[in-house]
Amino acid sequence: MVLADAGDVAGSSLPGAHTLSALGEDAVLARILPRLRPAVAALIGPGDDGAVVAASGGRFVVSTDTMVHGPDFRLAWHTPRELGWKAAATNLTDIAAMGARPTAMTVAITAPSDTDVVVLEGIAEGIQECLDALAPGAGVVGGDLTSSPVLTIAVTVFGDLAGEPVRRSGARVGDIVAHAGLLGAAARGLALLFDGARDASGEPDIALACALRARHPDLIAAQLAPRPPVLAGVAAALAGATAMIDVSDGLARDARRVAVASGVAVDFASDALGPDVNLALAGAEDHGLLAAFPPDARLPDSFRPIGRVVPGVGHVLLDGVIVDSVGWDPYLNWDGRAG
Amino acid sequence: MVLADAGDVAGSSLPGAHTLSALGEDAVLARILPRLRPAVAALIGPGDDGAVVAASGGRFVVSTDTMVHGPDFRLAWHTPRELGWKAAATNLTDIAAMGARPTAMTVAITAPSDTDVVVLEGIAEGIQECLDALAPGAGVVGGDLTSSPVLTIAVTVFGDLAGEPVRRSGARVGDIVAHAGLLGAAARGLALLFDGARDASGEPDIALACALRARHPDLIAAQLAPRPPVLAGVAAALAGATAMIDVSDGLARDARRVAVASGVAVDFASDALGPDVNLALAGAEDHGLLAAFPPDARLPDSFRPIGRVVPGVGHVLLDGVIVDSVGWDPYLNWDGRAG
């Protein structure tokens, strides 16, 4: 786990004089901004009322997504750097899913006044490390820092298109359905944390989470700091993908969105979904890419075929049989615990 | 107050079956999206992983700002429509302050599970009404809805530049310093609410706030649903403004940012700042535009001269005397009360 090391977890930050309220906004920003490198696309970066970002072809792709302490992460499990990494990674895949290359992002953080500034420094470092790894050249061009009882990270991310955007609505009967990235790993990591990283009263526990990291590094990393195939989005567009989506809420639920938008059905082959088919269909937060390709397309290396587009009206099938929609809903599925 | 009417305040929403957790994400979005009209610049609008937005000249201006229940607004005072209006308006002025024309925005909302959907409907209506009034043609191109213990609205806004962006750093000695919009009205409105719209225990009170609206409609509106001079930003750019900033944290504090960035000092004339000079210098949240113009520039109609750029190293002066920096800091000035 490149993102987790001793002294990096939220609970170990020094008490006292380094809270946001003790430092004030300007001093906090002065400690965060040096941790971020300029975006190649930034014509004017942070520090003015707005940034100016290059948009090749006279257009840009934009998407936004927020992570909230409690529903989306626990500080007892996530290190600040993992948190920054995940906030960046999950947004980058939305740009990838349009067939675009991420160029820049803005980051709006709300944080309690008693938050130690090292938490925000860690978040900034995690964002930059994620950009360097998954979207080289992209960078943070602006942001906002606001006092709040709850820590949230709202990222808005921008991308450049080489050709036409790949939408959810273009899948055609006969297309190959293919997937890039992991299936179910993030959900398995979350289940491990729920089962093995809570104390006797059910509260998220730092020490137990650290022990789990040692035993299951890949699954815990898949949940806490996912490494989605961001650049595979452009590759899919170049290979002629007819439709694409970021698999954030589970394969079945997100495939259904493609099926509904395209007016077709998606039929998965169970033998292509790994040993635990239900987990592959329902497991959320892997942030892989699900795409449809014409039957004669040459799939990019990162994609494996897992099904077919068949006639239908917005259904998802498994080996030809309709499956219920399963997956994550932020208002129906959260258990209400923070930590 | 066009934005406040009976039945529109948060506390009057129907109890029961219309909470976000009862409806789920898809049903909530189905009720919100029809309240938003497409942006003229939207090549692809909401509903995919990302939107695609036109960016004339191959570049765009971007800014982001978040409003948090407690530090930034009280639901006992703001109606949902006012809240949406204010979230849009305060972001639009950041684009205006770059000399750009707003084209589009994304809106990321975090809301408790027991929030009534009419609150989100009202926020959406307020955003659209603000766009129609202050930035015609601009529209919401995407968003995000997440469960959270605290209601927050994070807006990221985009704009088109006709010419070069107007930065904070271009003010030159001898320039005229001019302002468009109100000075101190939002702060007076907030003071009225703090003094007259809290119950015996100090908690924000809906009925008292409604009574205040009737007595001081303009000042309360200046605080709850400000009407900043958004299109004056483009006018300033065309008139040759050398520097510009959105006055969100108070005239003195924001003028100091221009002075620091430009390596000059800003000297205000007290007789141009209205009857209450301290209020004009310190009052936050008016979201007017402060700009520097060459001495021979013809000021746009919406701007009035209020001072001069003089030699200095980042100071603000009043009638030639240095004044301390005063204004709003989100971590130093919040009293911690919600409502």
Domain ranges of chain A: 10-160, 168-181+228-322, 188-224
- B240-252: pLDDT as tens digits: 999 999 999 999 9
Query: Can you tell me the distance from the alpha carbon of A270 to that of B219, in angstroms, rounded to the nearest whole number?
Result: 64
Chain A interface disruption, residue of B119, B160, B331, most A CBs within 10 A: B331
- Torsion on CA atoms B225, B323, B291, B132, rounded to nearest 10: 0
- Please give the CATH number for the structural domain made up of B167-339: 3.90.650.10
- B49 vs A94: CB contact, 8 Å cut-off? yes
Query: Can you tell me the distance from the alpha carbon of B243 to that of A287, in angstroms, rounded to the nearest whole number?
Result: 42
User: What pLDDT score does A334 carry?
Assistant: 47
User: What pLDDT score does B162 carry?
Assistant: 87
Q: Do the two domains A10-160 and A168-181+228-322 of this chain adopt the same fold?
A: no
Sheet of B59-68: strands edge to edge? A42-44, A51-54, B59-68, B152-160, B101-111, B139-147
Rg (CA), chain A: 20
Bridge pairing between strands B101-111 and B139-147 = parallel
User: What pLDDT score does B318 carry?
Assistant: 95
- Length of chain A equals 339
- Please give the CATH number for the structural domain made up of A168-181+228-322: 3.90.650.10
User: What pLDDT score does A188 carry?
Assistant: 95
Residue B15 has pLDDT above 70, yes or no: no
Query: Count of A–B CB contacts within 8 Å?
Result: 248
- Whose tokens are 């007892």? That residue is A76
Q: Nearest CB to A146: which of B44, B60, B330?
A: B330
**Is-contact B339 B74, C-beta < 8 A?**
yes
Strand positions, DSSP E, chain B? 42-44, 51-54, 59-68, 101-111, 139-147, 152-160, 176-180, 243-247, 265-268, 288-293, 303-310, 316-318, 321-322
CATH homologous superfamily for B10-160? PurM-like, N-terminal domain (3.30.1330.10)
Q: Does A286 touch chain B (CB under 8 A)?
A: no
The minimum CA-CA distance between A221 and chain B, rounded to whole Å, is 23
| Among A residues 228-267, those touching chain B with beta carbons less than 8 Å apart | 244-246, 261
Binding site for Mg(2+): what residues of B are annotated? 49, 63-65, 94, 144, 246, 249
Kindly list the residues from chain A whose CB atom is less than 8 angstroms away from the CB atom of residue B261: 47
- A147 vs B331: CB contact, 8 Å cut-off? yes
What DSSP letter does each residue of B52-96 carry, written as one string?
Answer: EEE-GGGEEEEEEEEEEBTTTB-TTTS-HHHHHHHHHHHHHHHHH
Q: Which residue of B has its CA nearest to A160?
A: B52
User: What pLDDT score does B53 carry?
Assistant: 96
C-alpha A322 chain-centroid distance: 28
- Length of chain B equals 339
Query: Can you tell me the distance from the alpha carbon of B229 to that of B43, in angstroms, rounded to the nearest whole number?
Result: 27
- A109-166: pLDDT as tens digits: 999 999 999 999 999 999 999 999 999 999 999 999 999 999 999 999 999 998 999 9
Q: Amino acid identity, residue B206?
A: I
- A4-60: pLDDT as tens digits: 433 333 444 445 679 999 998 889 999 999 999 999 999 999 889 999 999 999 999
- A331 vs B147: CB contact, 8 Å cut-off? yes
| Among A residues 52-111, those touching chain B with beta carbons less than 8 Å apart | 52-68, 70-72, 93-95, 97-98, 100, 104, 106-108, 110
Look up residue A45 and give its two tokens: 């970066």
Under the banding of pLDDT at 50, 70 and 90, the label for residue B333 is low
Query: Can you tell me the distance from the alpha carbon of B187 to that of B183, in angstroms, rounded to the nearest whole number?
Result: 9
Query: Can you tell me the distance from the alpha carbon of A181 to that of A204, in angstroms, rounded to the nearest whole number?
Result: 28
Look up residue B72 and give its two tokens: 């930034």
Q: Calculate the average pLDDT of chain A.
A: 91
Q: Does B207 touch chain A (CB under 8 A)?
A: no
Q: Nearest CB to B49: which of A26, A146, A246?
A: A246
How many degrees, rounded to 5, is the angle at CA B68 between CA B62 and CA B74?
130
Under the banding of pLDDT at 50, 70 and 90, the label for residue A184 is very high
**Is-contact A29 A145, C-beta < 8 A?**
yes
- Torsion on CA atoms A269, A270, A273, A276, rounded to nearest 10: 170
Under the banding of pLDDT at 50, 70 and 90, the label for residue B10 is very low
Q: Does A23 touch chain B (CB under 8 A)?
A: yes
Q: Nearest CB to A331: which of B25, B49, B97?
A: B25
User: What pLDDT score does A279 carry?
Assistant: 92
Q: Which residue of A has its CA nearest to B254?
A: A49
**Is-contact B264 B251, C-beta < 8 A?**
no
Q: Nearest CB to B62: which of A57, A141, A149?
A: A141
Residue B336 has pLDDT above 60, yes or no: no
Q: Does B335 touch chain A (CB under 8 A)?
A: no
Q: Of A75-79, A236-240, A282-286, B27-31, which one has max mean pLDDT?
A: A236-240
- B135-157: pLDDT as tens digits: 999 999 999 999 999 999 999 99
Residue A210 has pLDDT above 90, yes or no: yes
Look up residue A96 and give its two tokens: 């990838």
The minimum CA-CA distance between A130 and chain B, rounded to whole Å, is 20
Sheet of A101-111: strands edge to edge? A139-147, A101-111, A152-160, A59-68, B51-54, B42-44
Under the banding of pLDDT at 50, 70 and 90, the label for residue A213 is very high
User: What pLDDT score does A263 carry?
Assistant: 98
Residue A333 has pLDDT above 70, yes or no: no
The minimum CA-CA distance between A196 and chain B, rounded to whole Å, is 25
Under the banding of pLDDT at 50, 70 and 90, the label for residue B26 is confident
Q: Exposed, middle or buried by CB within 10 Å (0-12, 13-18, 19+), for A229? A: buried
Chain A interface disruption, residue of B56, B63, B64, most A CBs within 10 A: B64
